[in-house]
Amino acid sequence: MIAIQFGHYSLLASLVLAVFGIGACIFGAIKRRADLIAAGRNAAIGVFWLVSGASVALVYLLMVRDYRVEYVAGHVNNTLNGFYRFSAFWGGQEGSLLLWLLLLCVYAFVVIRQNRHRNLELMPYVTATLMATALFFLVILNFVTPPFDTLATPPADGRGLNPLLQDWGMVIHPPNLYLGYVGFAVPFAFCIGALASGKLDTDWITSTRRWTLFAWFFNGVGILLGGAWAYKELGWGGYWAWDPVENASLMPWLVGTAFLHSVMIQEKRGMLKVWNVSLIIITYALTIFGTFLTRSGIISSVHAFADSSFGWAFLVYLLVAVVISFGLMIWRLPELQSEHEMESFFSREASFLLNNVVLMGITFAVFWGTIFPVVSEAVKGVKVTVGPPFFNQVNVPIGLLLILLCGAGPLFAWRRTSRKQMNRSFVYPSVVAVGALVVLMLFGVHHVYAALAFGLSAFVVGTIVLEYWRGISSRVRHQGERIVQAAWELTMRNKRRFGGYIVHLGMAILFVGVAASSAYQEVGEVRLRLGESFALNGVRMRYEGIRENTTPQYRSAFARLGVYRAGYRIGEVEPEKRLYFTPPQPTTEPGIRRGARSDIYAVFAEADPDGTATFKFMVNPLVNWVWAGGVVFTLGSIVCFLPERWGRRRKKRA
Amino acid sequence: MEILGVIIATGAVGAAFFYTILPIMRPQTAQGVLPDEDSAQPLTDREVTRLLMEREQAYKNIMDIEFDKEMGKLSDEDYDQMMTPARARAVGVLRRLDARGVKEGMAPVRISEREAAEAAARLETKRPPTEKVAIEKPHSLDERLEAEILRYRKQVGKSPVELADPPSDEQAKSPKPRFCASCGNAVSQTDNFCAACGRQLS
């Protein structure tokens, strides 16, 4: 009971403190009252401690299975192990909203600590903006979906966690995505701080560069982990289905990517100030929109929580946030003029701008495809389903242009690049791309989009190799370093630039995986008797038997399939069919034999009493390149994130 | 148990409220949350803010040109064409900041005066004496630019071009800026007339 009351009153007190904090910060900043600003800051710190306390209380209640609490009774049961009881914290509506709020408060606390002695003009507004976001979630958690509501008669056993969420991927995917989603609130808050205070230099950008990178990285990793979970858990053989909630997580990442590129133009050339402000406002709005999509129940998705009645609250908040943000931007327009003009189309800034246009184009296409069913239902009364064909048809050509820019951008100099230098820079990557294309076509790659994706990815790799080669040879020449040392020093002394190149490399690898696994996936559905086999794309699968297993949570049946290639047994896969006891729900766990060339993917659809079984087989070429690309993407992001002086060789004193 | 819960919750909430209103009760605890008016740049001085931003961008621009040159993206001709106005622009900004009495190293490039003096002294000792010219100390501005860029690199943690050693005196001198002999305004190598006073340039 102590934890229940503590959690309940902490959230209520946090709401009061957040309201006070917003008022004190804004009023204090306008009147230049240090005591009020400090009180507002302390209120934000108080909110952090109280929300942390409430979160610990909820985790405690889940761990001890206190079924008096409605949320606990609805999301854990007597057989659920400690790992999943902990993850039930974000397994339901109320808990996941509390996690959103908790991360926001942690970020606010860290931002306040980081900026004790700097950005003093901005900080009152930054704190107020972060607290305004927190206030919205506190209103919902206090008055709409309270996580500490109790039941009049507690049940003897809980309803348990959704079986689909009982997977390690689902345990780490939501917090990862939230780390990113919520993280975008920090650069947004600094942007609002800059607009409100009139301190419109690049300080708000440089101060939040790492925060933006942090949010963008976790958003990206969250998307990839979601894909890995879908591939391993949902049993349809893919990792991305243009599901509305997948789209909702992709959109802020795309705009965030545009923002990360375009801020460089503002930092270096003092251009695109209005554009950058707009981008971060849109990114923030899209994170709220994404949360709205999962909560509102207006779309049907594998990710969506049960229909809830408070979707309107998100829309109202979204509207208020967007109107205030863009209102501030319009108010400051005269001070947001560009200091320079674009000198040449053949320049780094022009390529970044084009990359921004392309990314925004993809975002708009995804946004439109996502909301179109809702719009059509509202306007015509008919819910039109927008599926993968629309998204693929629109986004694949734009995506190819994006890969091209990934490779071309680094080859341009800032301001302008002469034709002669451009020819010199482009020749090697182009030769690599054309060479790769010719070789692949000779080996039978005739799918136009896939071939273009492979060729353009080769172009990106060629560019990165060329950039490294130029840098390394310069260091070897001037510093007398060995090649490996020169490569390390080059990366460590230019973390942002070369970390970015490593991210580009990861994206190129990922694109190859996506193109191959989409264009050349082979699918077969077959009914087999014991001992019979089925061949698909040179792989033969033989049905060898069934074994059963029972755990406290579920009963399952495994079908054993021997895998043969060119007559040789190369292993076996065991797709599984489970029936969970509470809640009673069947699930399929695919059997996957992973390989660098292709994955063999088998789904056990059903078994009949006569001994026959129905299977769905898939051969997914290069799908592991998607995950490998994700690992390289992670490495590159870490390089960008490292402190400026980390990893650099110290110069010897003479 | 219920009473204990209420007591603990009240205690935690009370502590948070007390912590919040503490700065209002004791204003001395709120020191340092507002910028120090003496050292900070006044927000009303938009022109100085703009110039300081411009100076920072001028330095970054010079470093980027050097990097692109080193990476083979700029020919010698392009490099000279881009570097000359870039340096002239930086010198022009320094002069305008001087005219407004803005100290060296002032935000957004935050470097101590001592570091500035040391960097300038190092350059002075390396550089051969330059011939005297009739205009108002143009060479000192040029050297100051070198020193400022060097210090700027130090501040942002990047060596010149992040590849090679700092440019030699020979390299540093090659794209030497020009100044109007009449008004001292920085002009580019290709200008025939001063943009500020209109005087024909020799």
- Give the pLDDT confidence of A311-326 residue by residue, as tens digits: 788 889 999 999 999 9
A101 near A142, Cβ under 8 Å?
A: no
The residue with greater pLDDT, B46 or A207, is A207
B17 near B59, Cβ under 8 Å?
A: no
Q: Which pLDDT does position A610 carry in this prediction?
A: 81
Q: Which pLDDT does position A433 carry in this prediction?
A: 95
Q: Which pLDDT does position A326 carry in this prediction?
A: 96
Contacts A45 to B, Cβ<8 Å:
19
**Mean pLDDT confidence for B64-73:** 80
Q: Minimal Cα–Cα distance from B188 to chain A, Å?
A: 17
Of B1, B61, B65, the CB nearest to A1: B1
pLDDT tens figures, A86-135:
999 988 889 999 999 999 999 999 999 998 888 888 999 999 999 999 99
Of B20, B157, B158, the CB nearest to A17: B20
**Mean pLDDT confidence for A329-335:** 91
Tokens 């001890």 label which residue?
A64
Asked if the Cβ–Cβ distance from B57 to A9 is below 8 Å, we say: no
Is residue A483's pLDDT more than 70?
Answer: yes
Q: Which pLDDT does position B144 carry in this prediction?
A: 66
Contacts A268 to B, Cβ<8 Å:
57, 60-61, 64
The Cα A112–Cα A389 span in angstroms is: 46
Q: Residue A224's CB: how many other CB atoms inside 10 A?
A: 21
Contacts B22 to A, Cβ<8 Å:
39, 42
The Cα A520–Cα B135 span in angstroms is: 73
**HSE of A641 in the Cβ direction (CA atoms, 13 Å)?**
16
Lowest average pLDDT, out of A265-269, A454-458, A604-608, goes to: A265-269
The answer for residues whose C-beta is within 8 angstroms of residue A171's C-beta and 6 or more apart is A83, A84, A87, A165
Q: SS3 letters for A341-393?
A: CCCCCCCHHHHHHHHHHHHHHHHHHHHHHHHHHHHHHHHHCCCCCCCHHHHHH
Lowest average pLDDT, out of A637-641, B64-68, B143-147, goes to: B143-147
Of A3, A35, A425, the CB nearest to B73: A425
Is residue B47's pLDDT more than 80?
Answer: no
Of B5, B16, B30, the CB nearest to A35: B30
Nearest residue in B to A426, CA atom? B73
Is residue A307's pLDDT more than 80?
Answer: no
Asked if the Cβ–Cβ distance from A5 to B57 is below 8 Å, we say: no
Of B72, B74, B157, the CB nearest to A470: B72
Asked if the Cβ–Cβ distance from B43 to A117 is below 8 Å, we say: no
**Mean pLDDT confidence for A434-448:** 91
Asked if the Cβ–Cβ distance from B12 to A50 is below 8 Å, we say: yes
**Mean pLDDT confidence for A242-250:** 89
Q: CA triplet A390, A395, A396: central angle to 5 degrees?
A: 105
Asked if the Cβ–Cβ distance from A202 to B72 is below 8 Å, we say: no
The residue with greater pLDDT, B169 or A609, is A609
Q: Minimal Cα–Cα distance from B134 to chain A, Å?
A: 33
Q: Minimal Cα–Cα distance from B130 to chain A, Å?
A: 28
Q: Minimal Cα–Cα distance from B33 to chain A, Å?
A: 6
Contacts B54 to A, Cβ<8 Å:
270, 339
* Three-class SS state of A570: strand
Task: State the best of A414, A422, A496, A498 to mutate against chain B, taking most chain B CBs within 10 Å.
Answer: A414
Of B27, B64, B71, the CB nearest to A470: B71
Q: Minimal Cα–Cα distance from A18 to chain B, Å?
A: 11
The Cα A553–Cα A541 span in angstroms is: 30
- Distance between alpha carbon A250 and the CA centroid of its chain, in Å? 6
**Mean pLDDT confidence for A408-434:** 89
Contacts B60 to A, Cβ<8 Å:
267-268
Asked if the Cβ–Cβ distance from A420 to B75 is below 8 Å, we say: yes
Contacts B1 to A, Cβ<8 Å:
1-2
Count residue pairs from A and B with Cβ separation < 8 A: 179
Of chain A, the percentage scoring pLDDT greater than 70 comes to 97
Asked if the Cβ–Cβ distance from B162 to A494 is below 8 Å, we say: yes
Name the DSSP letter for residue B193.
B
Average pLDDT, chain B: 65
**Mean pLDDT confidence for A570-595:** 88
> With b meaning 16 or more CB within 10 Å and e meaning fewer, what string describes A69-98?
bbbbbbbbbebbeeebbbbbbbbbbbbbbb
A250 near A359, Cβ under 8 Å?
A: no
Q: Which pLDDT does position B55 carry in this prediction?
A: 81
Asked if the Cβ–Cβ distance from B74 to A493 is below 8 Å, we say: no
Q: Minimal Cα–Cα distance from A256 to chain B, Å?
A: 24
Nearest residue in B to A343, CA atom? B82
Is residue A440's pLDDT more than 80?
Answer: yes
Nearest residue in A to B69, CA atom? A413
Is residue B191's pLDDT more than 50?
Answer: yes
Asked if the Cβ–Cβ distance from A203 to B108 is below 8 Å, we say: yes
Of A6, A268, A467, the CB nearest to B12: A6
**Mean pLDDT confidence for B45-55:** 71
Lowest average pLDDT, out of A104-108, A246-250, A550-554, goes to: A550-554
Q: Which pLDDT does position B68 carry in this prediction?
A: 81
Of A35, A116, A414, the CB nearest to B27: A35
Contacts A42 to B, Cβ<8 Å:
19-20, 22-23
pLDDT tens figures, A11-23:
999 999 999 999 9
Contacts A1 to B, Cβ<8 Å:
1-2, 5
Q: Which pLDDT does position B62 carry in this prediction?
A: 84
Closest by CA position to A406, among listed A451, A449, A467: A467
A388 near A317, Cβ under 8 Å?
A: no
Q: Which pLDDT does position A401 carry in this prediction?
A: 94
Asked if the Cβ–Cβ distance from B162 to A493 is below 8 Å, we say: yes
Max avg pLDDT among A110-114, A424-428, A602-606, B151-155: A110-114
Q: Minimal Cα–Cα distance from A43 to chain B, Å?
A: 5
Q: How confident is the model at residue B28 (pLDDT cuts 50, 70, 90)?
A: confident
Q: Minimal Cα–Cα distance from A57 to chain B, Å?
A: 11
Q: How confident is the model at residue B173 (pLDDT cuts 50, 70, 90)?
A: very low
Q: Minimal Cα–Cα distance from B61 to chain A, Å?
A: 6
Of A36, A117, A415, the CB nearest to B82: A415
pLDDT tens figures, B99-156:
776 655 554 444 444 444 554 454 444 444 343 333 333 345 566 677 776 666 665 5
Q: How confident is the model at residue B52 (pLDDT cuts 50, 70, 90)?
A: confident
Of A420, A474, A645, the CB nearest to B157: A645
Q: Are strands A598-607 and A591-593 parallel, antiparallel or unpaired?
A: antiparallel
Asked if the Cβ–Cβ distance from A493 to B43 is below 8 Å, we say: no
Of chain A, the percentage scoring pLDDT greater than 90 comes to 55
Q: How many residues does chain A have?
A: 654
The Cα A308–Cα A141 span in angstroms is: 13
Nearest residue in A to B77, CA atom? A418
Is residue A653's pLDDT more than 80?
Answer: no
Task: State the best of B4, B49, B161, B162 to mutate against chain A, taking most chain A CBs within 10 Å.
Answer: B162
The answer for residues whose C-beta is within 8 angstroms of residue A472's C-beta and 6 or more apart is A483, A486, A487, A490
Q: How confident is the model at residue B177 (pLDDT cuts 50, 70, 90)?
A: low
Asked if the Cβ–Cβ distance from B17 to A13 is below 8 Å, we say: yes
Is residue A296's pLDDT more than 60?
Answer: yes
Percent helix, strand and coil across chain A, each to the nearest 5: 65, 10, 25
Contacts A21 to B, Cβ<8 Å:
20
Of A34, A418, A421, the CB nearest to B31: A34
Asked if the Cβ–Cβ distance from A42 to B5 is below 8 Å, we say: no
Nearest residue in A to B35, CA atom? A120
Q: Minimal Cα–Cα distance from B133 to chain A, Å?
A: 32
**Mean pLDDT confidence for A42-70:** 95
pLDDT tens figures, A157-201:
888 888 877 877 778 888 888 999 999 999 999 999 999 998 888
Max avg pLDDT among A126-140, A220-234, A302-316: A126-140
Q: Which pLDDT does position A493 carry in this prediction?
A: 85
Q: Minimal Cα–Cα distance from A599 to chain B, Å?
A: 41
The residue with greater pLDDT, A230 or A320, is A320
Q: Minimal Cα–Cα distance from A103 to chain B, Å?
A: 19
Is residue A269's pLDDT more than 50?
Answer: yes
The Cα A472–Cα A520 span in angstroms is: 38
Asked if the Cβ–Cβ distance from A416 to B162 is below 8 Å, we say: no
Is residue B30's pLDDT more than 70?
Answer: yes
